[in-house]
Amino acid sequence: MKILLTNDDGIYSEGLCALYETLVLDHEVYIVAPESERSAVGHAITIEQPLRVRKVKRGKYFWGYAINGTPADCVKLALYELIGPVDLVISGINKGANVGINLLYSGTVSAATEAKILGYSSIAVSIDAYEDVDYCFAANFISTFINYAFDLPLDLPFCLNINIPHINPYKIKGIKFVRQSIAKLKEIFDKRLDLHDKIYYWQGAEEYTEKDPDTDVIALKEGYITITPIKFDLTNYSSLNKLKQIDDKILKNLVV
C-alpha cells in the first residue's frame, strides 16, 4: 500500500519513527508531519499564515516533509500537493491515549478525520503511556492490523481511532470495538503566582468519570486494544427531528 504517515508529536517523535520502521518493510510510506509538537490543537488549520515545507533527511536519504502547521494542515498539504492520492493515512503513534472527550482536543485524531473528509481511509493510533514508552508492540500490531482493515465490515473511506494499552503484550486481553466515552473529565485549573506575584493558571485533566465497560475509556483501562469507528457529522439527529416538527408560524414571529 501507499501510506501517508503523520502525527501530532512532530516529525522527530519516537512514535512516528517506530511506526515508520515497521510499515516500510511492506509498504511505500510517506511522512508529512508537523515540525514540532502540536498536541491538543484539535482540528485546527492554518489559514492566516503561509505554510512552509522542509525536506528532512536521514543520513544521505530523504526521510519526510516537515510542515510549520497542524496535523490537519499536514494531511491536506500531503494529499493535495506533496504526495497525492494514497491508500491509507495513519496518524501516530501518539504518546498518550486518545479516548473519551479528549478525541475533540486531539491533533492525532484530527489528522485521521481530515483524511476521511478528503475521501481517504485513515487510522489514528495512540499508546496509553507518557513515559518510558515502548512502541514496539503497537507498531507491530498496526502493521499487522492494516492488512485486515480493508476486509472489516466498514464503509469506505473508514476512519478508526485505535488505542493500545502500554502493558506486557501477552497480558493484552484482545481487541474491543467500543464507542467513544462522552462522560465528563474531572478537570483542574491550578492557580499559581509567578515571580512578579501575577496570577496564572495551568489547565489539566485528572480523571474520567466513565463507568461503562463498553467505552474506549474503560476498555483501554481494562487491557484491551480499543477500536472506535469515527465520523465528522456533528448533527444531533434526534434533536433535529424534533425541531423539524415545530410549527412554522411560531418561528415566523422570531424573525421580522
Per CB under 8 A, contacts with a copy of itself among 24-53 are 37, 39-48, 50-53
For residue 176, count other CB atoms closer than 10 A to its CB.
Answer: 19
Omega before 230 within 30 of 0, i.e. cis: no
Is the Cβ of residue 59 or residue 240 nearer to a copy of itself in the bound state?
240
Report d(CA 29, CA 41) in Å as an integer: 25
Beta-carbon-side half-sphere exposure of residue 216 (alpha carbons within 13 Å): 26
| Per-position DSSP letters for 53-88, written without gaps between them | EEEEEETTEEEEEEESS-HHHHHHHIIIIIS---SE
**93-132: which residues touch a copy of itself (CB under 8 A)?**
101, 103-105, 109-110, 113, 117-119
* 63 near a copy of itself, judged by CB under 8 A: no
* 55 near a copy of itself, judged by CB under 8 A: no
Least distance CB 136 / a copy of itself (angstroms)? 12
Is the Cβ of residue 18 or residue 74 nearer to a copy of itself in the bound state?
74
- Residue 208 contacts residue 100 (beta carbons within 8 Å): yes
> 8 a known binding residue?
yes
Is the Cβ of residue 59 or residue 174 nearer to a copy of itself in the bound state?
174
Closest of 51, 93, 45, 98 to residue 71, by C-alpha: 45
**Contact residue for a copy of itself among 206, 207, 233, 247 (CB under 8 A):** 233
* 246 near a copy of itself, judged by CB under 8 A: yes
> 94 a known binding residue?
yes
**149-208: which residues touch a copy of itself (CB under 8 A)?**
152-155, 158-159, 161, 169-170, 172, 174-175, 177-180, 182, 184, 187, 189, 191-192, 194, 198-204
Report d(CA 95, CA 89) in Å as an integer: 18
Is the Cβ of residue 31 or residue 216 nearer to a copy of itself in the bound state?
216
Residue 49: what residue type?
Q
Is the Cβ of residue 59 or residue 196 nearer to a copy of itself in the bound state?
196
> 39 a known binding residue?
yes
Torsion angles phi and psi, residue 234, rounded to 5: -90, 0
| Binding-site positions for a divalent metal cation | 8-9, 39, 94
